[in-house]
């Protein structure tokens, strides 16, 4: 099996006057896992799209095995042995696995008639070799995200990729799937495939890389060995010293004002996606809901907010039943809500930052009187919030959809925290957010706790749960596995996330 | 801590057990009752005669003689039984099988036919003629909807089918007259359809103009242009420019004498045979070949296709062009088969019906073909019933098939899903 050495020399890529990449040098030695570490928007994906032939570099050169190459399209890159797994999968949802793998390099018999059987055979071979467990005839849209990713890897391997680019491959994966992926990467490396691993998650990078190159604002900051400490790497990424641990004070729980009892949500297919859940949160306490994605977290938070149908049970805040109230009344009762997907539920992308900051209060004083809005007040409010939350936006009038993930999240958080709250719910508060912003957002959540608001965090990132929680509730298949105190070991939590109850723990602490 | 209070939402605390949708059982039940009451109990007591073979055929099959009222009641009970089965399945928590709505539709249409024919002044109809005529009227629709399938499958919405048909019809008449050969006219029609399509392709793919708007504008443009040329060129010089002659009917010996299916399959002009070939080829091409896989990928997820080295916009351009050529052939049928001259706006909105057939047929060539046949049947029924004289005003008869279509699409076919990227221009990056 031939191995390939890949070299990028002085690569620059400009979009208009903006340089996404500036004079980047990078050498990927054969048979290595080379990590590109950098925050969202640092230019990692742009660089890889240049390498994969999707973008033409403004300047610079790509060398494969010391020979300069000129990729006019992904076809050329694939022919040179480069394969790429994109952050957003490039799979046709209504095609089968085999059709997706065959696409673009279809085995055919006479007259262009597909011989899909050949592809099936190859998929089974690769699937067996690496233990992928992928059915060639399954429809891609029916597959879990983790399996879809393996289909992407198979696509590259079928095309004889010697260098595999993985663009933020763990962003969509559960902790277990992430571990499996890291194993797969090690296996591929052992089989002679070089891997370019793009990530901003320090633990994964340290676990699997041979070499780490840190990128910041389109430039290479430097290389680091995988033995470098997390704090060191984070500081290189962000460009200033970053403290990774929150150092929050112990919780001072007061009165219990938020009580959920026997909450059940029935889905359209008749199953209970949330099944008889009971918990309570005291003022000045953070309860984190942990669990692998898709175990009822979305439905739980939406049921509390009142946007789920077929809900039974009880949700009481300050002695008042919230269940059955219109969403607006729930919000008026003092519930702040950060939805799990800010681009879908949290923001109106084409609206300005200023408008998004008053989406919940636009019809109330001081932003409105009668039927007219008061743009001056909205602008004033925006200016204050942009400063307070350090929202990096060209102006208050810029469309919220054009901001980076971290800054969009700050807009959502700023809006929800700018009312006096009786309960704060944040779902996936830092998903797709850069390290610098995570630190900031976490501090704000803890600050909200410290003024005496009951806080509920839903996160699939175990690190985040451990970081923030005063108590941890674990969901599995819609049921509460248990509620455990902060400081419970990772392993115990991991087992709970797989449905195994805590030793000696009880369901209601 | 407050006591547990249960707050009911959507009416009751107890959630209903999960059931599949009631839409199919209910619509079948309602239609069956309508059939039983109107076609059965209120049906005519005359006997409907349905002739299966024509007088001159080699094989003579006796005609079906169905007493109106009794026939209506029997068929109505049969329909009720199917509806009952569907409801039974629903109580068991299962969906109705897929064949049920189709079988139901066939029986329903037959019952409708018996009712109408038995109630007519002259209760006799040629089944063979009805079916053959339906196919003839469906030919341009099939070509038009195939054009739509090719365009939409690759991600371009083709509202311009009407314009492509009309362009084909005009060019066919003009070129066939000038060259003296309807066959050359047919080829010219394909070229004209392709040209109309290329305009659509260039504006929607290269200049990213809204595809619906380009399509509508093209329809108006072609209508105006052919109307103008017809008025200035064809009307004063009919002999020189508008006497194309017809494509010969080429019956296949023996096979064309088979009752009912003989005339529709084996007694066609070259355009009719081309239609069957086109449906088969487009279906096979789309689902069994490399070309088809790429086309569908471009229409579903163009970015994925691009990352695999497929040229998205070139694929789109050539498919749209090909679609136009096919619709052009369909247009030629108006002036070379149905009638032998061009008149202003001869396509008469059939392009839009083809669009409906494409959606009813769920973006599948065979589905579009069958849907086109249904619409062809609707057109033909209307004219035949006018001839035999029914008590029902013909305008209402003309509406009925469309009503059935709406029922079929809304209640029986279920959710259909267009190609995900249809109508969305592809811009790199």
User: What is the mean predicted confidence (pLDDT) over A496-509?
Assistant: 62
Whether A172 has a pLDDT exceeding 80, the answer reads no
Phi and psi dihedrals of B81, rounded to 5? Answer: -60, -40
Rg (CA), chain A: 25
User: What is the mean predicted confidence (pLDDT) over A95-116?
Assistant: 91
Q: How far is B298 from chain A (nearest CA, A)?
A: 9
What pLDDT score was predicted for residue B343? 94
User: What is the mean predicted confidence (pLDDT) over A502-508?
Assistant: 49
Segment A199-215, tens digit of pLDDT: 878 888 999 999 999 99
Return the residue of B nearest to A95 by Cα.
B297
- b/e per residue, A310-319, with b = 16+ CB within 10 A? bbbbbbbbee
Q: What is the mean pLDDT of chain B?
A: 85
Same CATH fold assignment for domains A5-238 and A256-334+420-497: yes
Q: Which two tokens stand for residue B121?
A: 């002044």
Whether A39 has a pLDDT exceeding 90, the answer reads no
Return the residue of B nearest to A100 by Cα.
B297
Using the beta-carbon criterion (under 8 Å), do B8 and A95 form an inter-chain contact? no
Segment B336-391, tens digit of pLDDT: 998 889 999 999 889 998 998 888 888 999 999 998 998 888 888 877 777 777 76
Largest CA distance in chain B: 96
pLDDT above 70 as % of chain B: 88
Whether B319 has a pLDDT exceeding 60, the answer reads yes
Whether A2 has a pLDDT exceeding 70, the answer reads no
d(CA B189, CA B166): 9
What pLDDT score was predicted for residue B4? 41
B-proximal residues of A, 217-256, CB under 8 Å: 256
d(CA A38, CA B259): 75
Return the residue of B nearest to A88 by Cα.
B304
What pLDDT score was predicted for residue B333? 95
pLDDT above 90 as % of chain A: 47
CA B77 to chain centre: 30
d(CA B210, CA B117): 48
User: What is the mean predicted confidence (pLDDT) over A349-365?
Assistant: 88
Confidence of residue A163 (pLDDT cuts 50, 70, 90): very high
d(CA A332, CA B138): 60
What pLDDT score was predicted for residue A309? 86
Using the beta-carbon criterion (under 8 Å), do A321 and B5 form an inter-chain contact? yes
Residues of chain B found within 8 Å of residue A80, distances taken between Cβ atoms: none
What pLDDT score was predicted for residue A164? 93
d(CA A351, CA A356): 6
Residues of chain A found within 8 Å of residue B6, distances taken between Cβ atoms: 312-314
Segment A49-101, tens digit of pLDDT: 899 988 889 999 999 888 899 888 888 999 889 999 988 889 999 999 999 99
Using the beta-carbon criterion (under 8 Å), do B290 and A114 form an inter-chain contact? yes
What pLDDT score was predicted for residue B149? 96
Q: Which two tokens stand for residue A180?
A: 């499996």
d(CA B250, CA B352): 30
Select from A288, A260, A284 the least CA-distant residue to A425.
A288
Query: Greater confidence, B3 or B298?
Result: B298
Phi and psi dihedrals of B57, rounded to 5? Answer: -70, 150
Q: Which two tokens stand for residue A427?
A: 């779902």
d(CA A76, CA A356): 44
Domain ranges of chain A: 5-238, 256-334+420-497
Using the beta-carbon criterion (under 8 Å), do B304 and A266 form an inter-chain contact? no
Return the residue of A nearest to B281 by Cα.
A113
d(CA A129, CA B16): 47
Q: What is the mean pLDDT of chain A?
A: 88
Segment B187-216, tens digit of pLDDT: 999 999 999 999 999 999 999 999 999 999
User: What is the mean predicted confidence (pLDDT) over B297-311?
Assistant: 93
Q: How far is A441 from chain B (nearest CA, A)?
A: 31
User: What is the DSSP pairing of strand A455-458 with strand A423-427?
Assistant: parallel
Phi and psi dihedrals of A222, rounded to 5? Answer: 160, 175
How many CB atoms neighbour CB A343 within 10 A?
14
Q: Is the CB of residue A314 less than 8 Å from the CB of residue B4?
A: yes
Whether A301 has a pLDDT exceeding 80, the answer reads yes
Whether A46 has a pLDDT exceeding 80, the answer reads yes
- Dihedral angle sign, alpha carbons of residues B82, B84, B85, B87: positive
Name the residue among A262, A310, A319 with its Cβ closest to that of B2: A319
What pLDDT score was predicted for residue B401? 60
Whether A160 has a pLDDT exceeding 70, the answer reads yes
Whether B14 has a pLDDT exceeding 90, the answer reads no
Q: Which two tokens stand for residue B213?
A: 């708007």
What residues have CB less than 8 Å from B415, skipping those under 6 apart?
Answer: none
Using the beta-carbon criterion (under 8 Å), do A309 and B9 form an inter-chain contact? yes
Return the residue of B nearest to A319 by Cα.
B2
Q: Is the CB of residue A94 less than 8 Å from the CB of residue B300?
A: yes
Whether B90 has a pLDDT exceeding 70, the answer reads yes
What pLDDT score was predicted for residue B9? 40
Assigned fold of A256-334+420-497: Rossmann fold (3.40.50)
**pTM of the full predicted structure?**
0.78
Q: Is A54 on the interface with B (CB under 8 A)?
A: yes
Coil/strand/helix, residue A232: helix
Whether B10 has a pLDDT exceeding 50, the answer reads no
What pLDDT score was predicted for residue A173? 74
How many CB atoms neighbour CB B10 within 10 A?
10
What pLDDT score was predicted for residue A101? 95
Select from A306, A362, A361, A297 the least CA-distant residue to A329.
A306
Using the beta-carbon criterion (under 8 Å), do B289 and A262 form an inter-chain contact? no
Segment B172-189, tens digit of pLDDT: 999 999 999 999 999 999
CA angle A92, A96, A97 (to 5 degrees): 90
What pLDDT score was predicted for residue B55? 63
Whether A505 has a pLDDT exceeding 80, the answer reads no
Name the residue among A86, A256, A270 with its Cβ closest to that of B307: A86
Using the beta-carbon criterion (under 8 Å), do A91 and B17 form an inter-chain contact? no
What pLDDT score was predicted for residue B261? 79
What pLDDT score was predicted for residue B410? 62
Mutate: best of A90, A96, A99, A154, partner B, most B CBs <10 A? A90
Select from A294, A291, A311, A314 the least CA-distant residue to A303.
A311
Q: Which of the 8 DSSP states describes residue B334?
A: I
Q: Is the CB of residue A333 less than 8 Å from the CB of residue A317?
A: yes
* Domain over A5-238 is classified CATH 3.40.50.300: yes
What pLDDT score was predicted for residue B336? 94
Q: Is the CB of residue A154 less than 8 Å from the CB of residue A103?
A: no
Segment B238-250, tens digit of pLDDT: 999 999 988 988 8
Return the residue of A nearest to B312 by Cα.
A104
Rg (CA), chain B: 25
Name the residue among B9, B10, B309 with its Cβ closest to that of A104: B309
Residues of chain A found within 8 Å of residue B417, distances taken between Cβ atoms: 94
CA A276 to chain centre: 28
Largest CA distance in chain A: 77
What pLDDT score was predicted for residue B59? 66
Query: Greater confidence, A412 or B98?
Result: A412
What residues have CB less than 8 Å from A287, skipping those under 6 apart?
Answer: A279, A281, A454, A455, A456, A457, A469, A470, A471, A472, A473, A483
Residues of chain B found within 8 Å of residue A312, distances taken between Cβ atoms: 6-9, 13, 15
Segment A227-249, tens digit of pLDDT: 988 888 888 888 877 776 777 88
Confidence of residue A509 (pLDDT cuts 50, 70, 90): very low
What pLDDT score was predicted for residue A326? 93
Interchain CB contacts (distance < 8 Å): A and B: 114
């Amino acid at each position: 099996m031939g191995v390939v050495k890949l070299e990028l020399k002085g690569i620059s890529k400009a979009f208009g006057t903006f340089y996404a990449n500036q004079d980047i040098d990078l050498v990927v030695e054969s048979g290595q896992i080379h990590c590109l570490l950098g925050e969202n928007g640092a230019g990692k994906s742009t660089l890889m799209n240049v390498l994969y032939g999707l973008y033409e570099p403004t300047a610079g050169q790509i060398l494969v095995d010391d020979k300069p190459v000129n990729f006019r399209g992904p076809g050329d890159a694939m022919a040179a042995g480069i394969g790429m797994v994109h952050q957003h999968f490039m799979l046709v949802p209504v095609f089968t696995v085999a059709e997706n793998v065959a696409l673009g390099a279809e085995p055919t018999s006479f007259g262009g008639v597909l011989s899909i059987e050949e592809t099936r055979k190859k998929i089974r071979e690769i699937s067996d070799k690496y233990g992928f467990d992928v059915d060639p005839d399954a429809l891609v849209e029916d597959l879990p995200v983790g399996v879809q990713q393996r289909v992407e890897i198979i696509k590259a391997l079928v095309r004889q990729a010697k260098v595999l680019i993985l663009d933020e491959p763990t962003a969509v994966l559960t902790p277990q799937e992430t571990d499996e992926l890291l194993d797969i990467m090690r296996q591929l490396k052992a089989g002679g495939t070089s891997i370019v691993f793009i990530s901003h998650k320090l633990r994964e990078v340290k676990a699997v890389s041979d070499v780490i190159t840190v990128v910041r604002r389109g430039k290479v900051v430097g290389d680091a060995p995988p033995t470098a400490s997390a704090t060191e790497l984070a500081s290189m990424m962000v460009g200033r010293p970053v403290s990774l641990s929150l150092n929050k004070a112990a919780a001072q729980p007061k009165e219990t004002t938020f009580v959920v009892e026997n909450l059940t949500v029935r889905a359209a297919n008749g199953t209970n996606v949330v099944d008889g859940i009971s918990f309570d949160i005291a003022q000045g306490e953070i309860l984190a809901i942990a669990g692998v994605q898709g175990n009822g977290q979305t439905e739980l938070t939406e049921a509390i907010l009142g946007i789920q149908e077929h809900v039974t049970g009880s949700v009481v805040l300050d002695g008042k039943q919230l269940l059955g109230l219109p969403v607006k009344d729930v919000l008026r009762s003092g519930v702040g809500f950060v939805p799990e997907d800010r681009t879908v539920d949290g923001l109106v992308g084409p609206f300005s930052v200023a408008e998004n900051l008053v989406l919940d209060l636009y019809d109330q004083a001081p932003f409105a009187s009668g039927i007219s809005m008061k743009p001056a007040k909205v602008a004033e409010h925006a200016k204050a919030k942009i400063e307070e939350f350090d929202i990096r936006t060209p102006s208050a009038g810029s469309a919220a959809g054009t901001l980076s993930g971290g800054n969009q999240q700050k807009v959502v958080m700023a809006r929800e925290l700018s009312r006096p709250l009786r309960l704060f719910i944040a779902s996936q508060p830092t998903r797709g957010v850069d390290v610098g912003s995570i630190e900031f957002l976490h501090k704000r959540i803890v600050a909200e706790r410290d003024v005496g608001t009951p806080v509920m965090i839903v996160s699939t990132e175990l690190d985040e749960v451990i970081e923030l929680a005063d108590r941890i509730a674990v969901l599995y298949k819609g049921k509460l596995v248990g509620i455990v105190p902060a400081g419970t070991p990772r392993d115990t939590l991991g087992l709970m996330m797989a449905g195994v109850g805590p030793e000696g723990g009880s369901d209601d602490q | 801590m407050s006591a547990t209070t249960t707050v009911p939402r959507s009416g009751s605390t107890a959630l209903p057990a999960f059931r599949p949708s009631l839409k199919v059982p209910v619509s079948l039940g309602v239609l069956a009752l309508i059939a039983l009451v109107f076609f059965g109990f209120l049906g005519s007591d005359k006997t409907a005669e349905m002739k299966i073979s024509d007088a001159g055929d080699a094989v003579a099959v006796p005609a079906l003689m169905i007493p109106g009222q009794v026939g209506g009641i029997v068929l109505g009970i049969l329909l009720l039984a199917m509806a009952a089965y569907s409801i039974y399945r629903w109580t068991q928590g299962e969906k109705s099988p897929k064949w049920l709505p189709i079988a139901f539709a066939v029986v329903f249409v037959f019952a409708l036919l018996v009712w109408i024919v038995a109630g007519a002044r002259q209760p006799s109809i040629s089944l063979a003629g009805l079916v053959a005529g339906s196919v003839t009227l469906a030919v341009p629709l099939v070509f038009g909807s195939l054009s739509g399938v090719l365009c939409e499958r690759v991600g371009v919405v083709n509202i311009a089918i009407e314009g492509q048909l009309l362009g084909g019809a005009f060019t066919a008449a003009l070129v066939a007259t000038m060259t003296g050969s309807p066959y050359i006219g047919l080829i010219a029609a394909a070229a004209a359809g392709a040209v109309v399509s290329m305009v659509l392709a260039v504006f929607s793919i290269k200049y990213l103009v809204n595809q619906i708007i380009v399509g509508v504008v093209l329809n108006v443009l072609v209508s105006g242009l052919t109307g103008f040329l017809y008025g200035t060129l064809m009307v004063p010089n009919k002999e020189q420019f508008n006497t194309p002659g017809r494509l010969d009917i080429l019956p296949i010996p023996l096979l064309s004498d088979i009752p009912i299916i003989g005339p529709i399959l084996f007694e066609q002009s070259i355009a009719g045979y081309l239609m069957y070939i086109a449906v088969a080829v487009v279906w096979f091409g789309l689902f069994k070949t490399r070309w088809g896989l790429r086309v569908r990928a471009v229409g579903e997820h163009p970015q994925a296709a691009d990352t695999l080295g497929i040229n998205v916009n070139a694929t789109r351009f050539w498919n749209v062009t090909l679609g136009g050529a096919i619709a052009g052939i369909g247009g030629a049928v108006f002036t070379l088969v149905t009638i032998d001259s061009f008149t202003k706006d001869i396509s008469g909105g059939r392009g839009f019906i083809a669009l409906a057939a494409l959606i009813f047929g769920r973006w599948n060539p065979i589905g579009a073909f069958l849907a086109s046949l249904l619409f062809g049947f609707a057109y033909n029924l209307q004219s035949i019933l006018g001839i035999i004289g029914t008590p029902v005003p013909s305008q209402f008869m003309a509406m009925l098939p469309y009503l059935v279509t709406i029922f079929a699409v809304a209640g029986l076919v279920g959710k259909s899903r267009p190609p995900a990227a249809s109508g969305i221009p592809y811009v790199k990056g």
